[in-house]
Structure 1
Amino acid sequence: MKIEQIYTGCLAQGAYYITSNGEAAIIDPLREVQPYINRLERDGVKLKYIFETHFHADFVSGHLDLSKKTEAPIVFGPTADPEFKTIIATDGQEFKIGNITLKALHTPGHTMESTCYLLLDENRKEHALFSGDTLFVGDVGRPDLAQKAAHMTQEELAATLFHSLRNKIMPLPDDVILYPAHGAGSSCGKNIGKETVSTIGEQKESNYALRANMTEAEFVKELIDGLLPPPDYFKMNVAMNKEGYENFETILNHGMIPIPVNDLEAVAEKTNAVILDTRKNSKFAKGFIPQSINIGIDGDFAPWVGTLIADVKQPIILVTEKGKEEESVTRLSRVGFDNVIGHLKGGFKAWKKADRTIDTIDRISARKFTKELKITKNKVIDVRKEDEFCKGHVQGAHSKPLAYINDWINDINPKEEFYIHCTSGYRSMIAASILQARGFSNFKEVEGGFKAIEKTSVPKTDFECEEKPQNK
């Protein structure tokens, strides 16, 4: 028996590849499935089952393409009703893979079809639990991603999850290894730990949601408290995972179509496409195509695209570093953004060489920010998350999280000058590109963000909030 966690950092997502005696199972596969097929061929094993823990909201799974290419059946848990052929497991149903067994444990609450898979080794010893979004390291799945589908409130889903945890998971032996679907950074949980593997025993000791003396009411209150609204693209990803989608190769072929410099503006105007520049923020600041948006591929690329562009059907034209076209299309497809209609042929260098109009961001160093702030007393906008802001910020700064820019941008006075920053420059450059695309030019973005500002003499708060920051 062999278990491999295939972890994708930009999604904070774990897929699982399991083999035993010539047979294999894959749990919660990513959208692009060729790497799995290559691995199966290299290991000389046959894929027997594709297991899905639930209808994912934060990414599009590769279950359909993988099943078509390997003829392995897809398994969902009880109450799932996908619009394609699957095995709908009953609670407690067992599936043999070589010498091992995967047992379906229906654990509704995150969603109503949520199901964990308990691995029994060749001696039928309870060895590992693939918990999906039911149980994470240090947290549990948020109960509000499928309210409409389940016809339940988040309070009702949370109460359901409380009983799933206590009736199905907490009775398991302490030495059972926990393999969750997500790690820190995922929006599927509120405060997921950094580790991506644990044990049931460790979680009973450290996870707030598994406290032995916790009441249902306490659980519901603690789970729901502080939950931010899920990104709009989540419900679209659920629909794609449930209803089906176009195969990945077709999506990739469309995205790999080169668009010549002379045709770019006409194509963008005709299709109403967003020009998405995936280069590093340091390069983008020095020159970019007017009206383009910068979301660097070197950061949490796909989740930020999903959060800020939101509509998975939005046409997109890519501007990338040379050789990064395929990676950009692939990572967009993971969150359902399949309408990439091509990429700028030759990238930004070709645009610049053709002597086309170029825009820039007024980016300044933290040292210059220190000098100017003392003189001007201008507004400072901090686009980090609320919890980051609360741990320490520039005195008098306004908390305006990037995730809500489409709300607070309307409150900005186009005649009032201001500074903008995040932690290191990644998110503030995204915000800067959006502001500039919307016609704002009265701001400066601070290079290096709060990490650089911390090293200066700019007055800063202690590590607590003086008052609760506002999203808008």
Structure 2
Amino acid sequence: MYFEQFYLSCLAHASYMIGSDGVAAVVDPQRDVELYIDEARKKGLRIGHVIETHLHADFVSGHHELAARTGPQIYVGAGAGATFPHVAVREGDEIRFGRCVLRILETPGHTVESICILVTDLERSPEPFAVLTGDTLFIGDVGRPDLSPGHTPQQLAGLLYDSLHGKLLPLGDETCVYPAHGAGSLCGRQIGAERFSTIGKERQTNYALKAASREDFIHLLTDALPERPGYFARDAEINRTGAAALADLPPLPALDAYAVLRAQQKGALVLDTRPQTQFGAGHIPGSVHIALSGQYAAWAGTIIGLEADIVLVAEDTERASEARMRLARVGMERVAGYLDGGVEAWKRENLTLEQVPQITVQDLARLIAEKRDQVQVLDVRRQGEWKEGHIEDARLKPLNQLARTMDELDPQRPVAVHCKGGYRSSIATSLLRRAGFRLVMNVTGGFDAWKAAGFHVATPDAARNYVQSWSRAKVEGYQERKIELHNWPVQVISYKLGGLFHAKADNVSPGANLARATGGTREEAEQVVLARAGELLARTQHRAV
């Protein structure tokens, strides 16, 4: 049997193709579906089935276009209320082709219509070897329980607990787990970097599966639920009706500098997708910066939304086309064109450019020492990152909340903005400049560089023996240290929460959670995360970033 995972890093999205005897099923396809069609052709497969584990909220699915181009049926959970032609599946339904059996498990919680798919290869065994868990169970996490209108997060969290403990955890420990998202997805809070796991590993290491009771689980997931991006509801509705084919989008016009200026004056938003150093060196006044190198589409959906008319600024035509495609993946289709010739064309017309100074952490340390009462240090990371360590006297304003909280800052005083590594902070500087802040600086390297330079880090106060946590519980014995694994810099954090020790290993550069675990002792928890992180890094090519 053929089984392949397709991973789209910019959206941390995993989709799958399963084939047997010339027939294939595609599960949770991304919007641009050419890769599935090409792969099926190479493997001599006909795509006969398209399955959605739920109505995705963080991206626009390609199920509608894939069905139109290749002719398969679309399967979706019976509670989805889908308006396109589909087969509504329920508990125990099976899809059979060749020696492959796909069995449906109804697993509400992330959404009411969520399903998981047991995968059996009859050539191997009559028992399933894997389960595709959609957004129900991730590696080291579970799906957020707030994406179905008509249900409270507490109700959905209760359903999710029942699905996990009634449907997934009873599966054999050796059953492979293949989720729909990886590290960085907005559908979870602390998803691990691995692309797959097993039921046994998740039972041992997934924090959400350690809750002592259904009530504790509900509190764990909902007491400090991260804010849901505004575009999620729109994307879910697009997926409910079926998105238009990408081929139906009009060609991307090339605009001269004055056409861009006129569009901006009429209300269009200029979106600069270049690297942060290029944006800082010179950009169109009033533009928003979201570099193409990171989770560009997710941040564009969060910051800009789906209703704005957009003009792109990119390094070249190829990157402008890529930027447009990646916006379409989250349902952002109102792209009026791109600046032909880039910023150089703007310069040639002697039009105004603005700059954002890029400062090092050493520069920031000097500013704080010399002008502590003048400079405002702004941290735009998430609250969970802040709690694990931050710069003394910095002000926390997570990037997704900055637009509505920046009025608490003084626009007449300098603002030095940092995040973990510099990507989010550059976005934040562009938002501040648009809002009228003139003295704005981006801290290159971010908090990772600050720690690496040995500057003071404020961490949970061991003397007070307390830090606010998702479950509002006490944290004891907070520790962090840096080591090297397979020539990668790794930060290990551990602490006691309730009756268990929790540990996690983070890749310091480029920055990603590698593993999380719990154990009866600190040594046990750290041993597990280091083993899992070591396995992952041993398979990863070390390259400069």
> So what's the TM-score if we normalise by structure 2?
0.81
Cα 1:440–1:83 change in 2 (3 A) is same
C-alpha contact 1:100 1:124 (8 A) present in aligned 2? no
Q: 1:144 maps to which residue? A: 146
SS in 1 for 2:183: coil
Amino acid at match of 2:235: N
Of 338-347 and 368-377, the range deviating more from structure 2:
368-377
Amino acid at match of 2:147: L
Once residues 188 and 356 of structure 1 are traced to their aligned partners in structure 2, the CA distance between those partners, rounded to angstroms, is: 42
C-alpha contact 1:107 1:164 (8 A) present in aligned 2? yes
| Post-superposition offset of 1:277 | 0.4
Question: 1:358-437 maps to which residues of 2 (within 5 A)?
Answer: 358-377=353-372, 378-437=375-434
- Number of aligned pairs? 461
Cα 1:8–1:440 change in 2 (3 A) is same
C-alpha contact 1:382 1:401 (8 A) present in aligned 2? yes
> So what's the TM-score if we normalise by structure 1?
0.93
| Post-superposition offset of 1:468 | 7.5
Q: Deviations over 1:365-405 (max 9, x none)?
A: 32222223221112211111122222222211111111111
Q: Deviations over 1:199-225 (max 9, x none)?
A: 1122222223334x8322122122223
Once residues 2 and 330 of structure 1 are traced to their aligned partners in structure 2, the CA distance between those partners, rounded to angstroms, is: 29
Amino acid at match of 2:225: L
Once residues 167 and 422 of structure 1 are traced to their aligned partners in structure 2, the CA distance between those partners, rounded to angstroms, is: 40
Once residues 232 and 429 of structure 1 are traced to their aligned partners in structure 2, the CA distance between those partners, rounded to angstroms, is: 21
Q: 1:324 maps to which residue? A: 319
Query: Identity of counterpart residues, as a percentage?
Result: 38
SS in 2 for 1:158: helix
Once residues 464 and 53 of structure 1 are traced to their aligned partners in structure 2, the CA distance between those partners, rounded to angstroms, is: 43
C-alpha contact 1:370 1:457 (8 A) present in aligned 2? no
SS in 2 for 1:194: coil
Q: Does residue 56 of structure 2 align to residue 41 of structure 1?
A: no
Once residues 380 and 347 of structure 2 are traced to their aligned partners in structure 1, the CA distance between those partners, rounded to angstroms, is: 30
Of 49-58 and 135-144, the range deviating more from structure 2:
135-144
C-alpha contact 1:315 1:339 (8 A) present in aligned 2? yes
SS in 2 for 1:60: coil
Q: Does residue 254 of structure 2 align to residue 258 of structure 1?
A: yes
Amino acid at match of 2:414: E
Once residues 331 and 300 of structure 1 are traced to their aligned partners in structure 2, the CA distance between those partners, rounded to angstroms, is: 10
Of 279-288 and 403-412, the range deviating more from structure 2:
403-412
Question: 1:70-469 maps to which residues of 2 (within 5 A)?
Answer: 70-122=70-122, 123-146=125-148, 148=149, 151-211=150-210, 214-251=212-249, 253-254=250-251, 256-270=252-266, 272-310=267-305, 312-322=306-316, 323-377=318-372, 378-456=375-453, 458-462=455-459
Once residues 210 and 394 of structure 1 are traced to their aligned partners in structure 2, the CA distance between those partners, rounded to angstroms, is: 33
Once residues 461 and 15 of structure 2 are traced to their aligned partners in structure 1, the CA distance between those partners, rounded to angstroms, is: 37
Amino acid at match of 1:215: S
Alpha carbon RMSD of aligned pairs, Å?
1.9
SS in 2 for 1:48: strand
Q: Deviations over 1:70-120 (max 9, x none)?
A: 111110022221111001112111111221111111111111110011112
Amino acid at match of 1:316: I
Cα 1:113–1:455 change in 2 (3 A) is closer
Once residues 391 and 170 of structure 1 are traced to their aligned partners in structure 2, the CA distance between those partners, rounded to angstroms, is: 30
Cα 1:412–1:119 change in 2 (3 A) is same
Cα 1:138–1:455 change in 2 (3 A) is closer
Amino acid at match of 2:444: E
Of 399-408 and 273-282, the range deviating more from structure 2:
399-408
Cα 1:438–1:152 change in 2 (3 A) is same
Amino acid at match of 2:12: A
Cα 1:210–1:463 change in 2 (3 A) is closer
C-alpha contact 2:419 2:446 (8 A) present in aligned 1? yes
C-alpha contact 1:127 1:176 (8 A) present in aligned 2? yes
Once residues 346 and 59 of structure 1 are traced to their aligned partners in structure 2, the CA distance between those partners, rounded to angstroms, is: 30
Q: Deviations over 1:403-433 (max 9, x none)?
A: 1111211222222223222222211111111
| Post-superposition offset of 1:159 | 1.1
Cα 1:459–1:117 change in 2 (3 A) is closer
SS in 1 for 2:129: strand
C-alpha contact 1:361 1:445 (8 A) present in aligned 2? yes
C-alpha contact 1:390 1:464 (8 A) present in aligned 2? no
Once residues 129 and 372 of structure 1 are traced to their aligned partners in structure 2, the CA distance between those partners, rounded to angstroms, is: 53
| Post-superposition offset of 1:448 | 2.2
Once residues 455 and 463 of structure 1 are traced to their aligned partners in structure 2, the CA distance between those partners, rounded to angstroms, is: 19
| Post-superposition offset of 1:344 | 0.9
Of 333-342 and 407-416, the range deviating more from structure 2:
407-416
| Post-superposition offset of 1:464 | 5.7
SS in 1 for 2:79: coil
| Post-superposition offset of 1:355 | 2.2
Q: 2:520 maps to which residue? A: none
Amino acid at match of 2:359: I
Return 5+ residue gaps in structure 1 as ranges. Answer: none
Once residues 234 and 337 of structure 2 are traced to their aligned partners in structure 1, the CA distance between those partners, rounded to angstroms, is: 22
Once residues 454 and 203 of structure 1 are traced to their aligned partners in structure 2, the CA distance between those partners, rounded to angstroms, is: 31
Once residues 451 and 28 of structure 2 are traced to their aligned partners in structure 1, the CA distance between those partners, rounded to angstroms, is: 41
Q: Deviations over 1:219-270 (max 9, x none)?
A: 212222321121111111101100233221233x44x211112211112333
Once residues 164 and 264 of structure 1 are traced to their aligned partners in structure 2, the CA distance between those partners, rounded to angstroms, is: 51
Once residues 464 and 121 of structure 1 are traced to their aligned partners in structure 2, the CA distance between those partners, rounded to angstroms, is: 53
Q: 2:532 maps to which residue? A: none
Higher strand share: 2
Amino acid at match of 2:260: L
Once residues 303 and 426 of structure 1 are traced to their aligned partners in structure 2, the CA distance between those partners, rounded to angstroms, is: 13
Of 413-422 and 81-90, the range deviating more from structure 2:
413-422
Once residues 73 and 293 of structure 2 are traced to their aligned partners in structure 1, the CA distance between those partners, rounded to angstroms, is: 35
Q: 1:56 maps to which residue? A: 56
Once residues 101 and 46 of structure 2 are traced to their aligned partners in structure 1, the CA distance between those partners, rounded to angstroms, is: 16
Once residues 51 and 434 of structure 1 are traced to their aligned partners in structure 2, the CA distance between those partners, rounded to angstroms, is: 39
SS in 1 for 2:425: helix
Once residues 209 and 164 of structure 2 are traced to their aligned partners in structure 1, the CA distance between those partners, rounded to angstroms, is: 8
C-alpha contact 2:291 2:423 (8 A) present in aligned 1? yes
Amino acid at match of 1:444: M
Amino acid at match of 2:285: P
Return 5+ residue gaps in structure 2 as ranges. Answer: 469-545
C-alpha contact 1:120 1:127 (8 A) present in aligned 2? yes
Once residues 152 and 316 of structure 1 are traced to their aligned partners in structure 2, the CA distance between those partners, rounded to angstroms, is: 34
Cα 1:261–1:468 change in 2 (3 A) is farther
Once residues 201 and 419 of structure 1 are traced to their aligned partners in structure 2, the CA distance between those partners, rounded to angstroms, is: 45
Of 449-458 and 377-386, the range deviating more from structure 2:
449-458
Q: Deviations over 1:440-469 (max 9, x none)?
A: 102322222223333557543246699979
Cα 1:64–1:216 change in 2 (3 A) is same
